[in-house]
Structure 1
Amino acid sequence: MTDQTVLKVVLHAPTADALQRARSNAGNLLREAPAAQVKIVLNAKAVMAALDEPHDTCDAITWLCPNTLKQANRQNRAPLQVLAHGAVLELARLQQDGWIYIRA
């Protein structure tokens, strides 16, 4: 990787515990590589945990699965963002576009 290559990392969390790890991982990564692009993608139980437990630093880079929101009959809250498609499809597309996948 050259200095001009932007590091793009997607952290996937499907559980509440994984959400905590993803938030910690994102903070550590951005501290060491401030120019990196980081997305936290949530589905399943992690979506409810994110809605119920705000995080000042990571909420702006956190994306929720619309399928999980619909199944749980929950509404998004800002600054969390909702994916255009289900998490599995978005994760596949991000990897296809060169994002590095890490399961938190």
Structure 2
Amino acid sequence: MPTYDYECDACGHEFELFQSINDAHKRKCPECKKLKLRRLFGTGAAVVFKGSGFYETDYRSESYKKGAEKEKKSNEKASGDAKKSDKKDSKSKPKKTE
């Protein structure tokens, strides 16, 4: 259940109200008792994780983790082969001097 912000146009009273999405908007101000209450636009009812320790990869499926591990290994192997061939090429070519 989300928390909604309300403000009274008559007296300026602001407060938060914890209510169901299906509940009707409140109209009567709890302070001045006038029917000038309006619900404010909020940031929404999204879940927000604050602090360290929350990563998007924490809750991945096992099949995703296995596929990512295989891809990582194949990329490491390919980059290792490329480095070896670069070293061989640089040793076999004589340097030109002008």
TM-score, normalised via structure 2 length: 0.21
Greater fraction of residues in helix:
1
* Structure having greater relative contact order (Cα 8 Å, sep ≥ 6): 1
